[in-house]
Structure 1
């Protein structure tokens, strides 16, 4: 493995673990597409950050995207609670009009600037080794993206380890959580804030489409393989790391998109789990419906 391949796979693995851990809780809450909504909704935030700052400096873009990500989660919950529409409908309404607003802002105010929706949607993980490198005492410590995602992963791990009980209860049994004094609304916003942070930090390098694939695919695969949340978190992370590594080498072999190849591996993992899972797989369910005839000794 050459050095460039190492940084690409490491970046993909860091993003995969961040997305997979949070995606497990989204799957349990039946809100898997919130990541998709946030990844599209950050587009107007990027444009507004450019219009106010007059620069494409990365931190102003991240700040604007993060603000719109949080606003998106607030609007989803607001429409769900106040307008009494279903969660999936509120997600669909929110991200479509925010994304459309971003496209309009680009076409009207930033049409002559190298700023478009492609930078958010597609990204290019293969360019990670060309990113700005962090240096200390004359030593090159790695691309900026790797350190950024490493910091985000540390925050997410700390968040889950410290508040595992609250996240567990509000995800599995919100009524019981409310009865014992936990605010389900507070923990919803904290979880959505973590999702926004991960999405915004990752879209520059890997693109929003791959973020969505990693936030839904590995958790859904792990969900089919176990009924234990802690095991699900571990399996989901492992699936994401394997997908990042195999996806890179598949893209190298096909001379194609790394993000696309990783998404293909994620789809294959889910398909295998769907068919072969010992508890929820297609084969095991068919055996339960049509058990093998008992062998009667002669």
Structure 2
């Protein structure tokens, strides 16, 4: 595969994984948690590096999952003490992210890990960092990792589809039916953490947040069916990757930044043209109704 092909495949895998997870974040009204976890996993990555001196492998995933779960637990703990949830998220994620930044500046040294890398990623380097697999040969390590994460996300979403659907739309009903809502919540936070850290090194925190929230928000404008929403969100994530890469090549600018910007373009088009919630449709329908009445 060509250099551009690997970059597009990497970004598309990020778009699919984040798109699927993002739908549940939007339906659960937890969009800000995506922003929080995408930043606080930095602390988990830094601590894992300080312990193992490695920037890849299972230790990084474990550290990131732990940081994501810690964020979720602390947010819930602060919220239960009377602080509004949005404020609790802001307090926890800025504190943990700042701690990660301080540790990078004071403890990490010359390792390939800095704040710019954390925010924007290094997707242009992805095709050069390869691993050799049977049959497939040499492929980028990020592609392999993101493929596994996507498979895990899809399997868990399919296996517990009914439970995710009920807990997303009516948590009280889910609890009354005996569904372990607390367990599912932390499983979901683990999925968010794993998806985030798998995407973190390639595309950075900014694009992770964009891919988690914006394609799912755009899909929400087009349909009320969860299955269709999941498929649309994943498709919008892939479309954002392709469109963003084309823009980046055309303007010779940041690939991750262009892809994040493209998610906003897709949302803007959806906001205007979606059949149920689009601004144009909302204005055209009353005019058509008035025309029919006059006729």
Q: TM-score, normalised by structure 1?
A: 0.92
- Residue of structure 2 in register with 1:11 after alignment: 10
- Residue of structure 2 in register with 1:257 after alignment: 254
Matched, 1:246 2:243: yes
CA-to-aligned-CA distance 1:146-201 (integer Å, 9 cap, x gap): 11100000100000100001111011001111111112211111111100010011
Change (3 A) 1:57 1:218: closer
- Residue of structure 2 in register with 1:233 after alignment: 230
1:171-186 aligned within 5 A: 171-186=168-183
Instruction: Name the CA distance, whole Å, in 2 between partners of 1:143 and 1:225.
Output: 35
Asked if the contact 1:44–1:99 (Cα under 8 Å) also holds between the matched residues in 2, the reply is yes
Change (3 A) 1:112 1:4: closer
Q: Post-superposition shift, 1:266?
A: 0.8
SS across alignment from 1:30: coil
Instruction: Name the CA distance, whole Å, in 2 between partners of 1:240 and 1:51.
Output: 33
Instruction: Name the CA distance, whole Å, in 2 between partners of 1:146 and 1:112.
Output: 26
Instruction: Name the CA distance, whole Å, in 2 between partners of 1:247 and 1:108.
Output: 35
SS across alignment from 1:142: strand
Asked if the contact 1:156–1:194 (Cα under 8 Å) also holds between the matched residues in 2, the reply is yes
Instruction: Name the CA distance, whole Å, in 2 between partners of 1:296 and 1:119.
Output: 61
Instruction: Name the CA distance, whole Å, in 2 between partners of 1:62 and 1:296.
Output: 64
Structure 2, unpaired ranges of 5+: none
Structure 1, unpaired ranges of 5+: none
Asked if the contact 1:26–1:32 (Cα under 8 Å) also holds between the matched residues in 2, the reply is yes
Deviates more, 1:118-127 or 1:266-275: 118-127
Q: Aligned residues, how many? A: 293
SS across alignment from 2:132: strand
Matched, 1:119 2:129: no
The structure in which a higher percent of residues are helix is 2
CA-to-aligned-CA distance 1:113-139 (integer Å, 9 cap, x gap): 5432222221121221111232437x6
Q: Post-superposition shift, 1:289?
A: 4.2
Matched, 1:158 2:151: no
- Residue of structure 2 in register with 1:194 after alignment: 191
Deviates more, 1:169-178 or 1:183-192: 183-192
Instruction: Name the CA distance, whole Å, in 2 between partners of 1:296 and 1:286.
Output: 17
Change (3 A) 1:282 1:135: same
1:77-156 aligned within 5 A: 77-80=76-79, 82-111=80-109, 113-136=111-134, 140-156=137-153
Deviates more, 1:173-182 or 1:107-116: 107-116
Asked if the contact 1:31–1:88 (Cα under 8 Å) also holds between the matched residues in 2, the reply is no
- Residue of structure 2 in register with 1:266 after alignment: 263
Aligned alpha-carbon RMSD (Å): 1.8
CA-to-aligned-CA distance 1:54-86 (integer Å, 9 cap, x gap): x13412333322321221122122222x21333
Instruction: Name the CA distance, whole Å, in 1 between partners of 2:278 and 2:63.
Output: 43
1:200-239 aligned within 5 A: 200-239=197-236
